[in-house]
């Protein structure tokens, strides 16, 4: 997940006019919030100027593609495990049948 904080242009304006912004608007507060809530990135964006919008969406798309590749890799490993397990069960059955036929 990517955290996009909109109205960045207004936040910058407030910082210039007042010399500060309320704590929830500060970069350190936003970074802590993003980290504590599992966001992979944070961007202060502006729909008005377009600032950081492309960067936020680029990171979001990269994260989606990364998770998809990881999921496909996990699915492949799981398929390989089940296939190997099935082969093992089949081999054990063949061995058991072979022992029975030698005894009989």
Please tell me the distance from the alpha carbon of residue 51 to that of residue 89, in angstroms, as a whole number: 59
* C-alpha distances in Å from residue 16, one per residue of 12, 21, 23, 41, 45: 6, 9, 15, 25, 17
Q: Is the pTM of this model over 0.75?
A: no
pLDDT tens-place string over residues 18-74 = 887 777 777 888 899 999 999 988 998 988 888 889 999 999 999 999 989 998 888
Taking residues 74-101, what's their average pLDDT?
A: 76
Please tell me the distance from the alpha carbon of residue 56 to that of residue 1, in angstroms, as a whole number: 10
Please tell me the distance from the alpha carbon of residue 18 to that of residue 62, in angstroms, as a whole number: 37
Give yes or no for a contact between 42 and 3, defined as CB atoms under 8 angstroms apart: yes
pLDDT on residue 91: 73
**Burial label, 65 (beta-carbon count in 10 A; 0-12, 13-18, 19+):** exposed
């Amino acid at each position: 997940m990517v955290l996009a904080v909109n109205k960045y242009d207004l936040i910058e304006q407030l910082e210039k006019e007042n010399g500060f912004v309320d704590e929830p608007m500060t970069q350190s507060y936003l970074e802590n919030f993003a980290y504590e809530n599992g966001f992979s990135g944070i961007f202060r964006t502006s729909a008005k100027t377009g600032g950081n919008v492309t960067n936020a969406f680029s990171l979001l798309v990269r994260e989606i593609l990364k998770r998809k590749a990881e999921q496909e890799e996990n699915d492949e490993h799981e398929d390989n495990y089940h296939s190997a397990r099935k082969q093992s069960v089949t081999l054990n059955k063949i061995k058991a049948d072979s022992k029975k036929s030698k005894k009989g």
